[in-house]
Structure 1
Amino acid sequence: MSGRNEVALRGRLATEAEERELPSGDLIAVLRLVVPREPVAGRRRAPVEATRRATVDTIDVVCWTAAARRTAMRLRGGDLVEVEGALRRRFFGGPAGRQSRYEVEAAALRRVSGKASGGT
């Protein structure tokens, strides 16, 4: 049995991507994607419970390749973006010791449309 780790996302870019240099000297671009949650079919919620539940997921995306970084740095906050990649668990040292977090490593990303108009 072989493994499979594929992620496909479409959502709005929360803010513009940020380019960072790691202690190793590697450059990455990081961005945050806001993806609406689809209601679960057949699941009923009480009105009070429904107001407390998250209606979006905010997902951290990292771009390691030069091509993905270039694309990420051209995007603007509010752009509708598609991301293809893989889920990764990254380990790093922090003030409280060794820590980890999950993020999507983008193999490809593209702008689907520009920022949504706010009626102006």
Structure 2
Amino acid sequence: MREEGDAELVANDVRLVGRLSAAPAVVELPSGDTLMTFRISVERSARAGSPAARGSAQRVDSVPCTAWASRLRRSVATWRVGDIVEVEGAVRCRFYQAGGATRSRVEVEATSGRLMRRSPAA
């Protein structure tokens, strides 16, 4: 139960800066809603105490992201694999039906995003 003043202590705010690792894809849901999915590869922090600092072999995380707002979807559609991008949003756990089973997916629901550096032309 939330107490007075808790809003200052809890937050679900995410900021990622990384490389677009796959081309953005348009997904149309059974409800008729449209969203854009994409993945950003981000290097793990080497801060003291983090797995990367303790010698973990994994140095990069591939983070699934979604864009629901039409303006953001149009922007993301122009991004190319290898571009350095910045995304802000929140972590979401989404539940859906597939193959007769309920499944879940954790992703970053982007509320804003921008191209920081274009990848060299292929």
The Cα shift of 1:116 comes to: 5.0
1:34 counterpart = 2:41: yes
| 1:117 Cα deviation after fit | 7.6
1:99 counterpart residue number:
103
Percent identity over paired residues = 37
Please list, as runs of the form range in 1=range in 2, the aligned pairs for 1:11-90 lying within 5 A after superposition: 11-41=18-48, 45=54, 50=55, 53-90=57-94
2:27 maps to amino acid: R
Normalized against structure 1, the TM-score is what? 0.85
Count of matched residue pairs: 113
- Measure the CA separation in 2 of the matches of 1:42 and 1:89: 26
Distance 2:32 2:96 in 1: 15
4+ residue runs of structure 1 moved beyond 2 angstroms? 40-45
Deviations 1:32-66 (A, max 9, x none): 00001122326765xxxx4x621000000000000
**Is residue 2:119 matched to residue 1:112?**
no
Considering fraction of residues, name the structure with more helix.
1
RMSD, matched Cα: 2.0
Secondary structure at the counterpart of residue 110 of structure 2: strand
Partner-residue secondary structure (3-state), 1:54? coil
- C-alpha deviation, 1:19, in angstroms: 0.8
Q: Structure 2 vs 1, CA of residues 65 and 4 (structure 1 numbering), >3 Å: closer, same or farther?
A: same
**In the aligned structure 1, how far is the partner of 2:100 from the partner of 2:85?**
34
**Counterpart residue number, 2:13:** 6
Q: Which runs of 5+ in 2 are unaligned?
A: 1-5
Question: Normalized against structure 2, the TM-score is what?
Answer: 0.84
